[in-house]
Amino acid sequence: MQTKTEHLKKPPAANHTGKAALGFLNATKTYGDGPPALDNVSFDLKPGQFTVLLGPSGSGKSTLLRAAVGLVGLSAGEIRVQGRSIAASGRQARQCIGMVHQDGSLSDRLTAAQNVLSAMAPSMGWLRTLFQAYPAPLQRKACRLLARVGLTEDQANRRVRELSGGQRQRVGIARALMNDPDLILADEPVASLDPATARSVMTLLRETAREYGATVLCSLHQIDLACDFADRIIGLRAGKLVFDGEGADLTPRALAGLFDQTSTSRPFDVVSP
């Protein structure tokens, strides 16, 4: 018998080609003449893993995630998606990426379902997009996804400005899944939510990513959430990668180095993955 979510699943780990889902090689970004927002950052995501990018405000998390989808150009270095440089292959390389934004980045004038369908806009004609004339199979898929993330049919057909913060983030997750992504990038997806709602949205993100066999890179500044949800934690401070390990490796000293503004010593020993 088909389970409730069977129809949403891709074959398990279908995208796991052995190539890193996402790789950064000496990624460096300087805005104007300021200090580097990203400073020689290198790491590969492991396919299928849920990796948290942890760091205080201003440490470069958004810059790194935005660079991976081409919204920010690197000053130096390279980003590869499944082995292909995004600079060389551009939009094509990024088609397998779903993005969840901090504030949901939803269109308030559209319904939840229309927001989910908007993920398909780049591959649709502008006329269809303008008139919300999406093919019926896509509309059904959007409805199934919204049901999966816990929205009722009534909520799916409401304008998103009438939804709560948690419901909006659920819509954001459904939209990120619409394109069957191999990779999900989430930029502080729970920053504006209360602690209980934040946990339920993180749980949903992890569960749905697993169902899809999608690799996740999710930025957070909450240590407890990072430890509870991450398979692996990458720590950023002032644009530098200063930690790479599991939650259990985040010792008090390591945490002080990552978040304590007064610490002047070397943040902490980098833990090999």
Ligand X SMILES: Nc1ncnc2c1ncn2[C@@H]1O[C@H](COP(=O)(O)OP(=O)(O)O)[C@@H](O)[C@H]1O
Strands 22-30 and 36-44: antiparallel
* Token code pair at residue 204: 């949903």
Binds ligand X (CB under 6 A): choice among 27, 61, 174, 234: 61
| Part in contact with Mg ion (CB under 5 A); list of ranges 43-51, 58-66, 84-92, 115-123 | 58-66
Q: At closest approach, how far in Å is the CB of 270 from Mg ion?
A: 22
* Token code pair at residue 230: 């991450």
- Residue 7 vs 31, nearer CB to ligand X: 31
Name the residue type at position 70: G
Binds ligand X (CB under 6 A): choice among 15, 51, 63, 169: 63
Q: At closest approach, how far in Å is the CB of 261 from ligand X?
A: 14
Residue 213 interacting with ligand X (CB under 6 A): no
Q: Phi first, then psi: what are they for 79, rounded to 5°?
A: -125, 130
Question: What does the alpha-carbon distance between residue 144 and residue 130 come to, in Å, rounded to a whole number?
Answer: 23
Residue 58 interaction partner, one of ligand X, Mg ion, none, beta carbon < 5-8 Å per kind:
ligand X
Is there a contact between 221 and 19 (Cβ–Cβ < 8 Å)?
no
Q: Which residues of 21-38 are buried (b: 16+ CB within 10 A; e: fewer)?
A: bbbbbebbbeeeeeebbb
* Token code pair at residue 100: 């969840």
23 to 42, contacts with ligand X by CB under 6 A? 31, 34, 37
Residue 59 interacting with Mg ion (CB under 5 A): no
Residue 59 interacting with ligand X (CB under 6 A): yes
Binds Mg ion (CB under 5 A): choice among 15, 51, 62, 208: 62
Footprint of Mg ion (CB under 5 A): 61-62
